[in-house]
Structure 1
Amino acid sequence: MGAVFRAPADAAYPSAIWFAAADADRDGRLTLAEFLADAEASFARFDLNHDGEIDPTEMTAYEGDVPEISLYQRGQRLPANGRERKEAARYGGALGAGRYAQLNIPQPIASADLDFNRGVSRDEWRTVAARRFQLLGPVDGALTLAALKPTPAQETMLQCAADAAKKAKKR
């Protein structure tokens, strides 16, 4: 829902940090109620003037605080090898925040503007949160961290680690 989680290289991947924070009862399962509570907390952080709507000024502030969502980051390029190109195509060529998220949504706040009035109301936010929960594929009414697919950024990190391990083994 747009909240940003960053972690140093030796820490858990940010998806794990998010999941642990959202799993209120610490049972390893994220229910719709927990997901919506986490989304509500995000809405409260993004609605800087607390008027019940995330307006264009607040979206701009969010984008300034989260440079990772820039659609065209300096130095961004298509993957060089065939496997990485195939993976980028499979995921739909993730852009913006989609590179760091479970869903390929370049700007998670602006995309919640269901009535296209350039603002996101609390009702729109809740509706979109419920839809996104379903898109993540809950099983028996809940998500588990193990069942969530790696983000494109996480896949890149895992591949780099695997390549480094192969290289080290050859030495």
Structure 2
Amino acid sequence: MHHHKNIVLIGMPGAGKSTVGVILAKSLGMQFIDTDILIQEQTGRMLQEILDEDGPDAFKRIEKETILSLQPRHAVIATGGSVVCSGDAMAHLKSAGVVVYLEISYEEMEARLKNITTRGIVLLPDQSLRGMYDERIPLYERYADLTIACSGEDLESVVGNVIEVL
């Protein structure tokens, strides 16, 4: 186990950050924080509403502020897929713990995101899912301390793999 206090999960929408995060927190006796849920609690709105009404830039600003306000202790933190677009947010998270990138292939992401319009996924105007995927891959790779391949793996084995590398 790293001597870091927190485990930060990053990755594409649909990679399983929230689901893996809950099981991981239970397995390790840690607190669980989902930054998407925090945003919804703090704004009183669904992610998709913020995106539809205020646009992606406003959403990213709210996401960054939410993350910068976190002072997590002994927590597993599931982040939104777009968190890597903010250098400030990522610097804060990296200083707080070990960053684990849950990696999935484009095909896997597409298959998992059956209903994309309600998931609160930050796509820039005219940006395709593929465009978002290609844009974010280098960012996830840059910030990751550890990378776990998740395509074709079930949740339990992903959780086991994370615990193993930690």
Per residue, is there more strand in 1 or in 2? 2
Name the larger-Rg structure: 1
Higher relative contact order (CA 8 A, sep 6+): 2
Greater fraction helix: 2
